[in-house]
Structure 1
Amino acid sequence: MLNKKNIMGIIQDHKDSIEVIESELQRAHDLNLDIPEVTQAARNELSYLYDNKARYEMQAKAWGLIEEETNV
C-alpha cells in the first residue's frame, strides 16, 4: 500500500528499474541484438514505470515530501 513512509522508496525503485532497462536496451542496440518482441516488451515496461513514477512524484509533492520545481 502506498503511503508517506514508502513512497520515496517506490519512486527510487522505479528510477533504478528505468535505468537498468534503458541501459540494457542501449547495450542490445550497440551489440546489434535487437529482437523486436523483446524490445517492445521492454519499452512497454518503461512506459509503465515512467507513468507510475510521475504519478508517485505528484503524490509525494502533494504530501510535501518533494519540493515543487520552479523554472526561474
Structure 2
Amino acid sequence: MEEEYSVIILSKSGDFLLKSKEQLSRKENGIEADEPYIMTEDETAHRIRAEEVFIPYSSVENIQYGKFEQETRKTA
C-alpha cells in the first residue's frame, strides 16, 4: 500500500521517512525523528518499533521536504 510522506532524512545509518514536518525536531547535536519509517533495500518503507530515533548531525547527509509517495508495509 502506498502512503504519503513529507520528509526524507538521508543518513549514513539509513533513510528515514516522516509523515509530517512536525515529527522532526533539531537538537544541539542532531535530529530527533518521531514515529519514523525506514527505507529498506527493496525500496519499501517499514515502521520502526521505536517512538523516536536520534540521528547525529555527523550522520545526516541530506533532508528533503515535499510530497513523497512510497510503498509501505505495515508490521504486525
Q: Tell me the TM-score normalized by structure 1.
A: 0.19
Kindly indicate whether structure 1 or structure 2 has the higher relative contact order, using CA contacts under 8 Å at least 6 residues apart.
1
Of Structure 1 and Structure 2, the greater helix share is in 1
Q: Compute the TM-score of the two structures, normalised by the length of structure 2.
A: 0.19
Larger radius of gyration: 1
Larger strand fraction of residues: 2
